Amino acid sequence: MLRVVGEQGRSVAWSLLRGPVRLEVDGRDVDLGPPRQRLVLAVLLLSPDRSVPVESIVERIWDGRPPRASNPVAPYVARLRRVVGGSGTLSYRSGGYRLDCDPDQVDLHRARRLATGGRAAARTGDDERAVDLLRRALTGWHAEALADLPGHWAAGMRDTLRRERADLLADWAEAGLRLSGPGCARPSAPAEVIRTLRPAVADDPVAERLVASLMAAYAATGQVTAALDCYAALRAAVADRFGSEPSAAVRDLHVRLLRGSGDHPEPPEPPRVAVTGASRVVPAQLPLDVRGFSGRQDELARLDALLTEGLTASPTVAVVHGGPGVGKTTLAVHWGHRAAARFPDGQLFVNLRGFDPGGQGMRPAQAVRGFLVALGVAADAVPPDPDAQVALYRSLLAGKRILIVLDNVRDADQARPLLPGAGTTVALLTSRNHLTGLIAAEGAHPVTLDVLPGAHARQLLGFRLGADRTAAEPDAVQQIVTACAGLPLALAIISARAQQNTFPLATIAAELTDADRRLDALDAGEASTRAGAVFSWSYAALSAPAATLFRLFGLHPGTDIGVPAAASLAGEPVPVTRRLLTELTRSSLLTEHRPGRYTTHDLLRAYAAHQARTHDDAATRRASLARLLDHHVHTAHAANRQLDPMRDPMPLLLGAPAAGVTLDPPTDRDRATAWYAAEAETLGAILRSPAVREFPGHVWQFAWALDTFMFRSGHWHELAATWRGALDAARRLCDPGAQAYAHNLLAFVEVHLGRHDRAEDHFDRALHLYGQTGDRGGAAHTHRNLGFLRWRQGDKRRALHHTQQSLAGFRAVGTASRTAHALNAVGWCHAQLGNHAEALAHCREALTLHQEVRDVHGEASTWDSLGYAYHRLADHARAHHCYTRSVELYAEAGDRFNQADALSHLGDSHRAAGDHGAASAAWRRAHDILTRLGHPDAETVRRKLVDAVQVGD
């Protein structure tokens, strides 16, 4: 324990990292009292020279269940003053307690200071200094900090400090490894890293950065097998604990190890500098800063004070909570822009819709996927498993200075998967709730936001309306501020209306006061409930068509809308709709948050929905929602035809769109893909909406129209949920053919997810229903998919049986494209069984049919089957040609999974021909694709690469 000599010559040392919380003065331990008293002390020591609000201390000490005393912390602080003595000064300031002491007397803050210096040295290339400072930061830091403190907050802090220590170890190891190359200062560094990290990894087998550093150290010493064993152990531990794969960064390191050859492979780079599937992207997702931000100086100062802690080693979480319309989002966005320079690696923003009027909210997995794409991960590289997505997300954040703004958080469970695991990040949350779970367990800092004080409200009006105009009518300004109840949202709406005319402010104030008497306020369950009068006054000033569109926006399940969809919702032409949207935007009732896409505050959405229920009858509301669904279903159908032109027509008749629906179908593959990406969040919200459940035909057709895009993009979990919803819709439609189709497609997705028992049950149900309806084509399609399941299960003879039944069925109904697919499936199964003549005959016939109907995807599949048959016949030249053609066509079709499958087969053929270099190259390409897709077949290809390394290929 490092002792710091104070002004009176006393040696003082506070310790948070060496097990129990300790104070040592002149070499002697000081009794710090009972557990809760030590907890109070630890809370203050973690924020030295900064006031900690009493409510924060209470939440942390009593786990969100405080006693009834007005200030239960006071007795503990009084006793601590006597205990601390001259080692620090305890005072009460601004509603909180503050411990003033030299931060270098506290081992945690001294370690963080050294760590910051070490990381700065590493960024400038001074690894020698980095290693020295980081080693000093780690000195005396035990794995179990705060060991004697009870409660959820202490447990959460222990976990945070454990991750922080692991990050420090990884930083130290990476800097040391960079010093170990030929001619470098520390050739023995890898051995030192191995000695240090082995016990750390044994204590925490899923600490990915530590495992990656240990793998790199083993590789640097020529111990490739030990490095690969490390990865295998990590993979098993991650699968056991989280049911997912290691992060993309570690998988990338593993691939680079596999690519090495000989006894002394080149040491890999530290894992954090190269992440599979992600390019160097600096996201800047913050919405536009508000013009004329007013007040909130205390709250901004509290957020500024978090930066020192947030930019050291562990992440900082802050929660801005308050009622609807008080400006939580505005404050978070304004502070984000103001502090942007402190986050050079970018700013992430998402509206989680936790208080959406429809009660849906955004799922954390959906937000994580959006963040991954913003961080540069290709859509087809996002793992399908939610835990793997979170692992990849946190790996990408590691070591970066990023601000994460989570807007409209419903509860702690919605936010936790989006919080960084460790590193120099700040997460800023806004919520109507206090999120006490995050405050207690994760040490989140609460920032309470209330309505604007009168002076600040008048200042906001003065900025927006002009100082001269407000100064000329101070009484009217005060009436407006009073009517708006200090709500920034209401003040902004009034200002927007007042800017559109030159009426005296007294006239506006009188009308607003009259509206307040005439109309009930919008009761949002908060203290400030007069916003409804403000909204109604602005709403009443709209033209009738704009008012109708505003009301109907409250029925829209998504949070934003494009112009064609808005036109369909209103039943108006696009030019008319654009004018209406402009009118709503000028009135601040809508915001054009992206070019051509409009959104609004959830409080205004609730008000719009209330007005729709009040002024529009049920038939009108249903017709509007039906037009919106027609727009999306028809557009999705057209987009699907661009992605898969050979797909069979939709089994349920789509029907003509209702009158008033605007259609803007994509005209090529790129536009179709862009449309799906832009509408993904809206389509998900539509499918989850309880109101849309009353349109089962649309729900079923949505599943059909989304299937190709979601399947080829690797969204298998979401696709399975979509087909489950479609199956429920088909049952409500009492349509056995639609039920059978949904069972069949859901089963096929379940096969790809490895859920074979579920798949078999759905296949059985599909065949039973198709038998009832006499649909031989549907049954044939199901048999072909069943053949795929049997092949995945290793039952080749039953696979052949089902594919032969599929071929007979398709021949009977005369479907050329489907017959070609069935011929290929039969040929593939024959090749698997060694019946090569039958395999070639069936596949050649299939290839001819596919080429006649120009089915690129089917042709690619058949070339792959032909390649396999020639491979088994040892005709390697023809096999290479067939596999290469298959890879090219799958790439053209955008089918990444099957492209990887063909590459794996090409590698097998090259190895059989003795070309080991070409084999490894093909397998590496296949492994990269499958890893990015998060597909379990990546492990099969990985084993091929491992075997190649072990035998010296």
Distances from the Cα of 800 to the Cα of 14, 794, 814, 858, angstroms: 73, 11, 21, 18
Q: What is the pLDDT of residue 652?
A: 59
Architecture of domain 297-448: 3-Layer(aba) Sandwich (3.40)
Q: Which residues contact 729 (CB under 8 A, 6 or more apart)?
A: 693, 696, 697, 699, 700, 703, 738
The candidate with the shortest Cα–Cα distance to 11, out of 80, 86, 91, is 86
520's enclosing H/E stretch is none
Q: What is the pLDDT of residue 513?
A: 63
Q: Do domains 179-273 and 738-950 have the same CATH topology?
A: yes
Of the pLDDT bands very low, low, confident and very high (cuts 50, 70, 90), residue 755 is: confident
* Lowest model confidence (mean pLDDT) among 179-193, 416-430, 454-468, 708-722: 179-193
Q: What is the pLDDT of residue 683?
A: 82
Per residue in 348-388, pLDDT tens? 999 888 876 555 678 888 888 888 878 877 655 666 667 66
Torsion of CA 367, 369, 370, 373, to 10 degrees: 160
**Confidence check: pLDDT of 311 > 50:** no
Torsion of CA 187, 191, 197, 198, to 10 degrees: 160
**Confidence check: pLDDT of 458 > 70:** yes
320's enclosing H/E stretch is strand 316-321
**Confidence check: pLDDT of 140 > 80:** no
Cα 765 from Cα 740, distance rounded (Å) = 7
Q: Which residue blocks in 221-374 are alpha helix, DSSP H?
A: 224-242, 248-259, 297-305, 307-310, 328-338, 364-374
Mean pLDDT of 572-577: 94
Cα 277 from Cα 284, distance rounded (Å) = 20
935's enclosing H/E stretch is none
Q: Which fold has domain 179-273?
A: 1.25.40
Q: Which fold has domain 738-950?
A: 1.25.40
Mean pLDDT of 529-540: 61
Cα 739 from Cα 700, distance rounded (Å) = 9
* DSSP secondary structure string for all residues of 595-644: TTEEE--HHHHHHHHHHHHHHS-HHHHHHHHHHHHHHHHHHHHHHHHHH-
Of the pLDDT bands very low, low, confident and very high (cuts 50, 70, 90), residue 26 is: confident
Q: What is the pLDDT of residue 8?
A: 44
Q: What is the pLDDT of residue 65?
A: 65
| Annotated domain spans of the chain | 4-108, 179-273, 297-448, 454-540, 738-950
Q: What is the pLDDT of residue 953?
A: 44
* Lowest model confidence (mean pLDDT) among 45-49, 227-231, 369-373, 622-626: 45-49
Cα 951 from Cα 262, distance rounded (Å) = 10
Per residue in 709-745, pLDDT tens? 887 776 778 888 889 989 999 999 899 999 999 999 9
DSSP class of 425 = -
**Confidence check: pLDDT of 645 > 90:** no
Q: Is 223 exposed, middle or buried (0-12, 13-18, 19+ CB in 10 A)?
A: middle
Cα 224 from Cα 230, distance rounded (Å) = 10
**Confidence check: pLDDT of 165 > 50:** yes
Share of the chain above pLDDT 90, in %: 22
**Confidence check: pLDDT of 849 > 80:** yes
Per residue in 37-58, pLDDT tens? 888 888 888 776 667 777 777 7
- Parallel/antiparallel/unpaired status of strands 445-448 and 316-321: parallel
Global pTM value: 0.54
Mean pLDDT of the chain: 80
Q: 4-108 belongs to which CATH class?
A: mainly alpha
